[in-house]
Amino acid sequence: MYTAWVNTSERLIESTRELLWERGYVGTSPKAIQQRAGAGQGSMYHHFAGKHELALTAIRRTADDMRARAEEQLSAPGTALERLTAYLLRERDVLKGCPIGRLTQDPDVMADPVLRAPVDETFVWLRGRLADILAEGRDRGELDAALDPAGTASAVVAVLQGGYVLARAADSAELFHTAVTGVLALLSSRTTP
Amino acid sequence: MYTAWVNTSERLIESTRELLWERGYVGTSPKAIQQRAGAGQGSMYHHFAGKHELALTAIRRTADDMRARAEEQLSAPGTALERLTAYLLRERDVLKGCPIGRLTQDPDVMADPVLRAPVDETFVWLRGRLADILAEGRDRGELDAALDPAGTASAVVAVLQGGYVLARAADSAELFHTAVTGVLALLSSRTTP
DNA sequence: GTCTATAATAAGATAGAC
DNA sequence: GTCTATCTTATTATAGAC
């Protein structure tokens, strides 16, 4: 439960973000949100129209957050492969999984175009961003000239998302690392010496 | 709703399998299972102790099924890369996602060692099976001698699982194909000519 | 084996007092 | 803005008749 150094609206949003991450939309009840936020029933419905609006606010914030933190590594100095590696191997809450990716498994989120949009946009952006970096690396001669930026970017993002799945299945964060290292090894072998 | 050419117990199990795939454990209610199976309340509780036992039966069957269908491609004749490619590119219900992988996002499944076991075992098996095939391909000189079978197998399984995530996020089965093709391109470039 | 009560608890909100 | 009351509908069963 959040303490009172932020306002109720803020605590409700942050509680929702946590619960969506831990339990998804279907698994999160208004009551659970209120309890974690230390807010009453009436308080929640004063600030938000209901579970849906609260979730939308929470998802948008998480999406923005994810993008900003990715950009930290991706816009750092270094070669394409260095920035990509830094991004893939940065510290992550591996066993909690990806707070955006997990929403793709939520039937009520996928069925709702409004809730779904930020999820879609996040991956569109990430794939595009990685493709640009890969293309840059290829054009600078750091990577194999035959490398397909878009296809490789999709594969890399998929390894991230799938790495979370494998790690959670095995209850071992190491498996995420194994998968990521595995794809980096394949990619590095296409480096032009 | 299932018609009556199979018995009630069987219809309950198959309905549960479908619902777990579509909505996960948390999102599936006993009532929904009964309705899809065309079975009454009492009927369900006669055959199964409750939602948990039914889900366990359903998950185990789905896991067995998935393994058997993977083995179809993986044990076929051909080189390591051919069998791997056949497995990765076989027909799949891409937008529905992986019925086992999606369970890793279910908090109640992951919190229960009994429900979780078949999920874990399925991925342990699949990673091992792919690693064996990759090792075989490497030892036969079909793949790069420096290739790490276990790490590459994990990356490949991760691409599959992540491919489902990307496809669902974009509501486009093609994205799954893009990711899989992307990793195959990286892998093929390590073929020894 | 299947059906119809019955029931305690939770989900997801609305109403109106304070 | 927050709180308590109230409401309807699910959830997840159990009990016992048929």
pLDDT (tens digit, 9 = 90+) per residue, A122-150?
A: 999 999 999 999 999 999 999 999 999 99
Set of chain A residues whose Cβ sits within 8 Å of the Cβ of B158: 158-163, 165-166, 179, 182-183
In chain A, the residue whose alpha carbon lies closest to the alpha carbon of B118 is A169
In a domain, B1, yes or no: no
Query: Does A3 map to a domain?
Result: no
Write out the two tokens for B187.
């892998």
Instruction: Please report whether residue B2 resides in a domain.
Output: no
Under the banding of pLDDT at 50, 70 and 90, the label for residue B164 is very high
What's the rounded mean pLDDT across residues B127-147? 96
If you measure CA to CA, which chain A residue comes closest to B164?
Answer: A158
State residue B192's pLDDT score.
55
Q: From the list A160, A162, A190, which residue is nearest B189 (CB)? A: A190
Q: Is 80 exceeded by the pLDDT of residue B4?
A: no
Mutate to test the interface with A, among B22, B124, B166, B189 (most CBs of A within 10 A): B166
- The range of the structural domain enclosing residue A18 comes to 8-188
Give me the CATH number covering residue B58: 1.10.357.10
Is B177 part of any domain? yes
Question: Is residue A182 less than 8 Å (CB to CB) from chain B?
Answer: yes
Residue % of chain B over a pLDDT of 90: 94
Tell me phi and psi for residue A141, to 5 degrees. 80, 10
Interchain contact A120–B (C-beta under 8 A) = yes
Residue B102 confidence (pLDDT) above 90: yes
Mean pLDDT for B80-93 is 97
Neighbours of A62 (CB within 10 A): 23
Please give the share of chain A, as a percent, with pLDDT higher than 90: 94
- pLDDT of A97 reads 98
Kindly state the average pLDDT of the residues A16-29: 98
The three-class DSSP label of residue B39 is coil
Is B3 a residue whose pLDDT tops 70? no
> pLDDT averaged over chain B?
95
Label residues A158-173 b or e (16+ Cβ within 10 Å = b).
Answer: bbbbbbbbbbbbbeeb
| C-beta separation of B37 from A37 below 8 A | no
pLDDT in tens, A51-107: 999 999 999 999 999 999 999 999 999 999 999 999 999 999 999 999 999 999 999
**Does residue A40 lie in a domain region?**
yes
Q: Which residue has the higher pLDDT, B75 or A191?
A: B75
Q: What pLDDT score does A66 carry?
A: 98
B190, pLDDT greater than 80: no
Contact with chain B for residue A119, Cβ under 8 A: yes
Do the domain assignments include residue B3?
A: no
Task: Determine which of A4-18, B7-21, B110-124 has the lowest per-residue pLDDT on average.
Answer: A4-18
Q: Cα dihedral angle (A90, A95, A99, A103), rounded to 10 degrees?
A: 140
Q: Would you say residue A193 lies in a domain?
A: no
Q: Quick one: pLDDT at residue B139? A: 97
Q: How far is the CA of B49 from the C1' of D14 (A)?
A: 11
Q: Which tokens is A177 given?
A: 């690392």
Nearest Cα of chain A lies from the Cα of B1 at a distance, in angstroms, of 19
Secondary structure of residue A59 in the 3-state scheme: helix
pLDDT at A173 over 90: yes
How much is the pLDDT for B131? 98
Q: What is the DSSP letter of B25?
A: T
pLDDT band at A5 (very low <50, low <70, confident <90, very high): confident
- A159 in a domain, yes or no? yes
Numbers of helices and strands, H then E, in chain B: 9, 0
Number of domains in chain A: 1
pLDDT (mean) for B170-181:
98
